[in-house]
Structure 1
Amino acid sequence: MSTDAIKRVPRVGQWLPEDHTLMRLWLQRLLDQIEEKRSYYNGTEPFVKVIQEFKELIETDPAIYMLFHQMFHQIPHKPEYDNDPTGKPQVRNYISMLECFNEIMTRAPAYQKDTGLVGFPLNAIIDWPMGTTSGFAAFLNEKVNAQFKKVLDYWGEFLKSPDSAYVLNDDPETGWFGEAAMSEELMQNFSSTYICDPGAQYYGFTSWDKFFIREFQDGARPIEQQDDDRFIINACESGPYSLQHNVKAMDRFWIKGQPYSVSHMLAQDPLADQFVGGTVYQAFLSALCYHRWHSPVNGTIVKIVQIPGTYYSEARIAGFDEAAPNESQGYITEVATRALVFIQADNKQIGLMCFMAVGMAEVSTCEVTVKEGDTVKKGGQLGMFHFGGSTHCLMFRKGVNVIFELPEKPGLNANIVHIHKAIAFVPNPGDAGRYGAMSRKEGLWYSDV
């Protein structure tokens, strides 16, 4: 693979720069800053507790120790993998990796005009090892993922602290309220779209996390077809990724095409059997999107399930490729950390459905804000993602005649669809007119008018 061939890589949700050279530039800056600190500390900066624990886990478990050695040796020895734009070697061993992790623990994600957002800093550090055979094994390991959760929880506490708000400034090139960041399509008209105070320090946000989970102004996202229970609205501000019908109980979700495997997605929950043969709609959130989840229907919360899982596992079928995280969107619905919210819809033609929030990479929390037995209105809050990349699914049972009307074919390049937008329809028996006759095209349901 030539350097030119990997120069630009589509990134789902823009969590990392599409130009891989920019990501390597960001990483080299991080390594240079760590090197500068060596003289101050007369050696390596002391690790915070969770990073020291990670080091001890690697060094005391022989299988993990082997994997974390081999994953770096298995990176192809080519300039595009070994070196930064200046020719210096980048992260080549687990100690260097942990030094980078340690540096991130007291940093908030900054916007940079030249690199955009490196919203997955830990992901950027292990971007190449993730694609190796040993990396695939290591990042599926339960002990490794348990430690990653501790690391991400630690970082999450910093992101909730006032110390993390320093990046919420109006510097033209590096501030989140500066000219460069505010020119992003999803950041335009910020003060009229989101609840904030432009006259206050940091726009009134007391931490990075408060900025990340910001809320809409009243009326910024009107609820379509609010009083018509036949319509299902978009549960997240998200881009359509996949729509599959007649999903199987168990399927080979790690292969090309990544078919959904209901039993694995729902972690063998007793309710899973009802969704075999049904429909799954998946969509991804952008780094700059609103990150709360809203109910797609009127109904009652039947059950809530939190499922621990992986953070940095990607589908091996994608190969050693920077685009592998993109090609793993379906795969992670079976293995990543996720939350299930089962809703009994008021519309009997829909009945029981499931909203599934899927955390990936730097997501450490899928926070559910409703409880079992709650009545929810269409557009009412279900929960939120705290900092990190994310995707979600809507799952419908076999026999539910759910007809999706999407603005474009789902895929990696799909545009963001506003939350509360009507995206699907379940006709009542005898419905005629516009929704009486539908045609199926390219595997998706569209109206024929």
Structure 2
Amino acid sequence: MTRHKFNVGKWLPSDQEFQDKWVKTVLKEAEAEENQKLLPPVQELKDLIDNNHYIWNLFQMMFDEIPLKDVDTPAGTPQVRDVHQLLLVLNHIIQHAPKFNTTGLVGTPINAVLDYPMGTKAGYVVFNNPKVNEKMKGILDYWGKYLQSSDSSYVLNTSKNGWLSPYALQEMAKEAKGDNFQKIFACRSSELDQKLGFTSWDDFFTRVFNPGIRPVASPQDDDVIVNACESAPYRVAHDLPLKAKFWIKGQPYSLMDLLHNDPWTAKFEGGTLYQAFLSALSYHRWNSPVSGKIVKAYNLPGSYYGEALSQGFENPRGADPVAANDSQAFLTSTATRAVIFIQADNPKIGLMGFIAVGMGDVSNNEITVRVGQHVQKGEQLGMFHFGGSTHVLLFRPEVKLSFNLHGQTPGLDTVNIKVRDEIARVK
């Protein structure tokens, strides 16, 4: 398998041994709190498992199917081995903010704990079950509120595990193709002991660029389409089918599932799709790829920890060590997502779609535009609040595009293209 300097998107560490030790440490901390009452959303998940025999069986099977001995990928023996341990760990994680560390385990601690269970056959069923996902959303929403509170700002410090340490600031600046964090990102204070003016971990996570740092490419040329997120190109697909078996190994895109049977789905049959993924260290807001009018915008429920069955332990090459990075196409049809339709000012583009997809530890894809609003190319559409993420641009078959991916071939080893930079041109 291709080895990456960091696991894709820097959501999980390239060092699997570190991840195993981290999970073991979290489990030990959680077990020390064993007598603590479960938080309401975790208790609701426990009640669902205890009172639904079918779901109870699935969770037991899921843990039984995890290999007992080391496997090729993921490597190492998992420490969370049963439902009781899982509930304790979830209860612990959602009372803390993510710490920075040099291996890259910075954004999705729940995803890290579920890395092994997600790769099993039973895990595939569990994490695509609507009742389970309803409870996982409750857990993530609870955690999200905590991360938006001032209590979560304690990780904004200069220690080695703090987000304001010299190394962390350097890495985030480097990811943004710069060398000074405060020159790149808007900070309300220049003082580190004032947390640079950020009020919570989520406030820091959703930070914005300073004016002029990300200019809009060719603002007067409507033939130029710009990058909607600070993201790395994952896939370009043409001649999109209306319906496909999105769960099979090749992970074809299924428009009916991607758009959840939206009445406008057929308009994109035979069209073109562009998908790219975001880094944990990057800018997490969405910007309009074109100038035009917002004609429809809504959120879709979905899975929070699903991965393609073909990328789990059934894969002859071994399970995806960074579930669910190898499942990004699959997730466009299954994960929680936000859909925004834009009627472009350029008649050669016309109706197009932007879809924000939550990959792991994401429950809130926040849309900040309203139907009827006119947006300029590069103007904000919304944001991810935490977790791993990917996004899609969708074009009708009449639109003929020439992509500019800045010398890169789409895949898992690409690097970020700046937000608002050119990614395509209408022929």
**TM-score normalised by the chain length of structure 1:** 0.89
Q: Counterpart of 1:231?
A: 224
Q: Counterpart of 1:167?
A: 155
Q: Counterpart of 2:191?
A: 199
Q: Which amino acid aligns with 1:139?
A: F
Give the 3-state SS of the residue equivalent to 2:356 in structure 1.
Answer: strand
Give the 3-state SS of the residue equivalent to 2:329 in structure 1.
Answer: coil
Alpha carbons of structure 1 residues 7 and 296: separation in structure 2 relative to 1, 3 Å: closer
Give the 3-state SS of the residue equivalent to 1:25 in structure 2.
Answer: helix
Q: Counterpart of 1:142?
A: 130
Q: Counterpart of 1:272?
A: 265
Q: Counterpart of 1:416?
A: 416
- C-alpha contact (below 8 Å) 1:296/1:379 kept by paired residues: yes
Alpha carbons of structure 1 residues 323 and 359: separation in structure 2 relative to 1, 3 Å: closer
Q: CA deviation at 1:18?
A: 1.4
- C-alpha contact (below 8 Å) 1:309/1:335 kept by paired residues: yes
Give the 3-state SS of the residue equivalent to 1:425 in structure 2.
Answer: strand
Q: Counterpart of 1:338?
A: 337
Alignment partner of 1:76 out of 59, 67, 71: 67
Q: Counterpart of 1:446?
A: none
Q: Counterpart of 1:315?
A: 308
Alpha carbons of structure 1 residues 79 and 323: separation in structure 2 relative to 1, 3 Å: same
Q: Counterpart of 1:220?
A: 213
Alignment partner of 1:91 out of 58, 80, 84: 80
Q: Counterpart of 1:430?
A: none
Q: Counterpart of 1:40?
A: none
Matches within 5 A, 1:34-433: 34-37=30-33, 43-79=34-70, 90-113=79-102, 115-171=103-159, 173-184=160-171, 185-186=174-175, 188-196=179-187, 197-199=189-191, 201-320=194-313, 321=319, 322-407=321-406, 408-427=408-427
Q: Counterpart of 2:316?
A: none
> Which one has a bigger Cα radius of gyration?
1
Q: Counterpart of 2:14?
A: 18
Alpha carbons of structure 1 residues 80 and 180: separation in structure 2 relative to 1, 3 Å: farther
Q: Which amino acid aligns with 2:358?
A: G
Alpha carbons of structure 1 residues 382 and 6: separation in structure 2 relative to 1, 3 Å: closer
Consecutive aligned runs of 4 or more in structure 1 exceeding 6 Å deviation? 5-9
- C-alpha contact (below 8 Å) 1:229/1:346 kept by paired residues: yes
Mapped partners of 1:10, 1:251: distance in 2: 32
Mapped partners of 1:142, 1:346: distance in 2: 38
Mapped partners of 2:119, 2:342: distance in 1: 37
Q: CA deviation at 1:144?
A: 0.3
Mapped partners of 2:245, 2:97: distance in 1: 38
Q: CA deviation at 1:7?
A: 9.5
What whole-Å deviation, never above 9, does each CA across 1:281-327 have from its counterpart, x for those lacking one? 00000001101000000110111121110001100011311244121
Q: CA deviation at 1:116?
A: 3.2
Alpha carbons of structure 1 residues 9 and 329: separation in structure 2 relative to 1, 3 Å: farther
Give the 3-state SS of the residue equivalent to 2:141 in structure 1.
Answer: helix
Mapped partners of 2:228, 2:158: distance in 1: 31
Q: Counterpart of 1:435?
A: none
Mapped partners of 2:273, 2:250: distance in 1: 14
Alpha carbons of structure 1 residues 35 and 305: separation in structure 2 relative to 1, 3 Å: closer
- C-alpha contact (below 8 Å) 2:115/2:323 kept by paired residues: no
Alpha carbons of structure 1 residues 214 and 282: separation in structure 2 relative to 1, 3 Å: same
What whole-Å deviation, never above 9, does each CA across 1:126-146 have from its counterpart, x for those lacking one? 111111111111001000000
Q: Percent identity?
A: 47
RMSD of aligned alpha carbons? 2.0
Q: Which amino acid aligns with 1:256?
A: K
Mapped partners of 1:70, 1:234: distance in 2: 42
User: Which structure is richer in relative contact order (CA contacts within 8 A, separation 6 or more)?
Assistant: 2
For structure 2, list consecutive stretches of 5 or more residues without a partner in the other structure.
314-318
Give the 3-state SS of the residue equivalent to 1:116 in structure 2.
Answer: coil
- C-alpha contact (below 8 Å) 2:4/2:413 kept by paired residues: no
Q: Counterpart of 1:447?
A: none
**TM-score normalised by the chain length of structure 2:** 0.93
Give the 3-state SS of the residue equivalent to 1:280 in structure 2.
Answer: strand
Aligned length: 414
Which deviates further from its counterpart, 317-326 or 204-213? 317-326
Give the 3-state SS of the residue equivalent to 2:87 in structure 1.
Answer: helix
Mapped partners of 1:160, 1:257: distance in 2: 38
